[in-house]
Amino acid sequence: MLSEYLPIFILMIFALAFASVMVLSNRILGPKKPNPEKLSTYESGMEPIRTARDRFSVKFYLVAMLFIIFDIEIVFLYPWAVTFDKLGVLGYVEMFLFIFVLLVGYFYIIKKGALKWE
């Protein structure tokens, strides 16, 4: 039974060894010419106005969570689209119920003002 997993273990060992060799060779062979310009922080071509330790607004995290929630629906839509012809009417109705629940949630967060960035 364990012999069935042997190729996976060998591949994992090879991948870790390869990654380690690449990182170490870059550290050993790579150029090392630091200067103040290279060591400064970089934010989309603009000078940083705050430190990296500043707190973010709760709105930022709320929008991020909402994005993830509504982005995950694609995980459920793709298999449905692939097997659409085999599911029949029941699969069609269930997917529209799923989309309806997502739309209700979407209109709810719009009504609550969760997407308004002030």
Domain boundaries, the chain: 2-112
Distances in whole angstroms, Cα of residue 118 to Cα of each of 17, 23, 57, 62, 102: 49, 43, 10, 13, 25
Confidence band of 14 (pLDDT split at 50, 70, 90): very high
Hey, what CATH topology would domain 2-112 get?
Methane Monooxygenase Hydroxylase; Chain G, domain 1 (1.20.58)
In tens, the pLDDT along 33-68 reads 888 877 776 666 666 677 767 777 788 888 888 888
Going 97 to 100 to 106 to 109, the CA torsion angle's sign is negative
Q: In whole angstroms, give the CA distance from residue 75 to residue 96.
A: 15
Inter-residue contact 54 to 112 (CB < 8 Å): no
117 contacts 63 by C-beta, under 8 angstroms? yes
Residue 80: pLDDT band by 50, 70, 90 thresholds?
A: confident
So what's the pLDDT on residue 11?
A: 97
Q: Residue 27's Cα: distance from chain center in Å?
A: 29
Distance between CA atoms of residues 25 and 19, nearest Å = 10
